[in-house]
Amino acid sequence: MPKANKSAKAAGKAAIAKPSEDQPVLRAIKGGKAAPKPAKPTPLKATSAAADDVPVIGLNLEPAKLSPAMAAYFKKCEDKLGFVPNVLIAYAFDMGKLETFVAMYNDLMLGESGLSKLEREMIAVVVSSQNRCYYCLTAHGAAVRQYSGNPLLGEHLVMNYRVARLNKRHRAMLDFAAKLTASPWSVEESDRERLRRVGFTDRDTWDISAVAGFFNMSNRVASATDMRPNPIYHRQAR
C-alpha cells in the first residue's frame, strides 16, 4: 500500500496548512471563492488508491476570519497535534459557534473530572459506534488507541464494545452511555444506581451523561453535514 500511504500522507499534510492571514486551511478545504459550491463530489472509484480528498463538510459555508483566540488555538493544535482537526475547520465559518464548541469540548473532554481522559474517549467512541458516525469514530477511535496504548481497545469500541474485556467499572459506564444513546427515555434511577454500585459518584454520573450527550450532538452535526475526519487519524497509534 505504499502509494496509498503516500497520497494519504500528502492529504494529511494539506489539512495542516497554517491558518495564516489568508487562511488557506479554510479556503482550500471548503473551497472558498474558487470552489463556490461543494458540488456533489465525483465518486471515487472504489478500487483506486485515494485519500479522503473530499471537502471537510458537504455544505458550502464561507470561512470567517479567525478571531485572535481561535487563531492561537489553531496554532496550538498544529504545534501539539501537527494538524487542525477538521471539526474545528468545519465550525470556523462563525467565530461564535467555533468558540462555544471549543469551550464545551475542552471542558468536557479535558477539564477536571472523576473520569480519566481515556474513559471520556471510550464513551465518545461507544456513542459514535451506536450512531455510526464516521468522523467521530475515526478521530476518537485514534484517541482511544493513543491514550490506552492498546490499539485493540480502539478497534473493539469502534466495532462492538461488548467484545472488549472490560472491568466492571468500564462495562457499567459504557452500558449506561449506550443505553442513553439508544433509548434515552428508558434511563431511570436503577441505571444510575448501577453506576453508584461500581463506584461512580453522582458527579461522575453527570460527566458520563454529559460526554455521552455531547457526542450524540456531535455525531448528528457530523452526519448532517457530511463532515470528514483528517486522514491522518486512520494511521495513528496502530
Q: What is the DSSP letter of 85?
A: -
How is residue 6 written as a grid cell? 503516500
Neighbours of 217 (CB within 10 A): 12
The distance of closest approach from Cβ of residue 71 to a second copy in the complex, given in angstroms and rounded to an integer, is: 19
The distance of closest approach from Cβ of residue 159 to a second copy in the complex, given in angstroms and rounded to an integer, is: 5
Contacts of 106 (CB under 8 A, 6+ apart): none
Q: Closest CB to a second copy among 20 and 107?
A: 107
The distance of closest approach from Cβ of residue 138 to a second copy in the complex, given in angstroms and rounded to an integer, is: 7
Give, in order, the Cα–Cα distances in Å from 140 to each of 95, 119, 136: 24, 11, 6
For the chain, strand residue ranges (E) read none
The distance of closest approach from Cβ of residue 66 to a second copy in the complex, given in angstroms and rounded to an integer, is: 17
The distance of closest approach from Cβ of residue 23 to a second copy in the complex, given in angstroms and rounded to an integer, is: 18
Quickly tell me which residue has 448528528 as its cell: 220
Q: Closest CB to a second copy among 21 and 33?
A: 33
Q: Closest CB to a second copy among 81 and 187?
A: 187
Q: Which amino acid, residue 216? A: N
The distance of closest approach from Cβ of residue 67 to a second copy in the complex, given in angstroms and rounded to an integer, is: 14
Please give the Cα distance from 197 to 69 (Å, whole number): 42
Q: Closest CB to a second copy among 72 and 224?
A: 224
Q: Closest CB to a second copy among 19 and 229?
A: 229
Q: Closest CB to a second copy among 40 and 80?
A: 40
Give DSSP secondary structure letters for 3-60.
Answer: HHHHHHHHHHHHTT----TT-HHHHHHH-TTTS-S--PPPPPPTTS-----S-SSSS-
Please give the Cα distance from 188 to 165 (Å, whole number): 26
Angle between helices 117-130 and 202-225 (to 10 degrees): 50
How is residue 225 written as a grid cell? 453535514
Q: Closest CB to a second copy among 65 and 203?
A: 203
The distance of closest approach from Cβ of residue 49 to a second copy in the complex, given in angstroms and rounded to an integer, is: 4
